[in-house]
Amino acid sequence: MALQAGIVGLPNVGKSTLFNAVSNSAKAEASNYRFCTIEPNVGLVDVPDERISKLEELVKPNRTVPTVIEFVDIAGLVKGASKGDGLGNKFLGNIREVDAIVHVIRCFEDENILRDEGDINPVSDKEIIDTELQLKDLESVEKKIARTEKMAKTGGDPKAKAEFEVLKRCKEHLEKGKNIRELGLAKEEETAIADLFLLTSKPVLYVANVDEASLHTGNKYSKALEEAVKAERAEVIVMNNSIEAQISELEDPADKELFFSEYGLTEPGLHRLIRSAYKLLDLITYFTAGVQEVRAWTIHKGWKAPQAASVIHTDFEKGFIKAEVIAYDDYVKYGSEAGARDNGRLRIEGKEYVVNDGDVMHFRFNV
């Protein structure tokens, strides 16, 4: 399962530059004018994980396949997008399809980069996007209320009545200028709005795009943004998107090492971004390891063995018998599957086993 993250923000905040930094399969045009991006650019990037490199070193497989994250570069939103301004309906529809939102916010001054919103104000910029998403969600919620209200009030359909109550709470919340993800709906309540794919229900990460001088410490703009999103319990990742784009162009490891040294970096900001996205969505990784292939697989935290097997093939879940499991640390400690087995560290687990992050697994199934 590939996580899909949509990169959003106002025009000219560095979205396409970030996309170019993270994507290894496509390049977006980054230009200094509004609506440079109209059709969403989509690119895949390998998820950085030192564990798969270590397994590759031990197993020496014919090929190694990391898990990937899919980034979608969505055009810059503007005031009035919820009413269709600036091709807003199309762009908001693109956001509806992603799993998580990466909201890029400009936290630097540069008179050479166009800005329609006046002085640099990351909090105001965030609120502009929030308002447009909230207005679009309010439209969706009100339409569903109109469909369910009659059934709910006649009292003949308990499900409709429960749905109606949840929808009313959502409407009131949105009318206060708040995002649905802050409402704290229970799992069973979320089913009432699941079919709406509400924009403000999606988890969000904020990228504070700062100038080079603020790369390590942040600045007054990024700190104002951090303060503004405290109530959301959302993470703010401080990056310089231009530097990230330069890093992505370097192929020689020695050149990258020199670049990191020059800027005082230990890794690309992209790595932090991806790790944060996985944490945000409660995702973990398990591995399969053999001579033919070492591969990383992404699943949701809490999934049981048959569910985990389904990401390889649906037949694996249908015909699941058992799973052979070695904890990653044990695999590395004993150097191989055989070494772990000889030392009693290979376990046989059944259908109720909850997969742990880093498990090295082999599934037995019958179709």
- For residues 232 and 320, give the distance between their C-alpha atoms in angstroms, rounded to a whole number: 40
* Greater model confidence, 303 or 256: 303
Tell me the binding residues for ATP: 12-17
Reading the block at residue 362, the tokens are 């082999």
Q: Helix 241-249 to helix 253-263 angle, to the nearest 10 degrees?
A: 160
Decide the pairing of beta strands 68-73 and 41-46.
antiparallel
CATH numbers and ranges of domains, the chain? 3-48+64-119+202-249 (3.40.50.300), 132-200 (1.10.150.300), 302-365 (3.10.20.30)
CA-to-CA separations, 235 to 91, 102, 183, in angstroms, rounded: 24, 10, 18
Please state the rounded mean pLDDT for residues 25-33.
39
Three-class secondary structure of residue 144 per DSSP: helix
Tell me the binding residues: 12-17
* pLDDT tens per residue, range 218-277: 999 999 999 999 877 788 999 999 998 888 888 888 998 899 999 999 888 888 888 888
The reported pLDDT for the residue numbered 123 is: 94
* pLDDT tens per residue, range 69-124: 888 887 655 555 445 444 445 567 777 888 899 999 999 988 777 676 778 899 99
Three-class secondary structure of residue 289 per DSSP: strand
Amino acid, res. 241: N
Most confident option among 76-85, 140-149, 326-335 = 326-335
* pLDDT tens per residue, range 311-326: 999 999 999 999 999 9
Decide the pairing of beta strands 320-326 and 347-349.
antiparallel
Residue 359 CA, chain-centre distance (Å), reads: 22
Mean pLDDT across the chain: 86
Q: Which residues contact 280 (CB under 8 A, 6 or more apart)?
A: 100, 203, 205, 235
Spell out the alpha helix ranges (H) of the chain: 15-22, 50-59, 88-96, 122-154, 158-175, 187-190, 220-228, 241-249, 253-263, 269-280, 305-310, 314-318, 328-334, 337-342
Contact 337, 331 (CB under 8 A): yes
Q: Which residues contact 159 (CB under 8 A, 6 or more apart)?
A: none
Is the pTM higher than 0.85? The answer reads no
- For residues 246 and 248, give the distance between their C-alpha atoms in angstroms, rounded to a whole number: 5
- Map tokens 């308990």 to a residue: 158
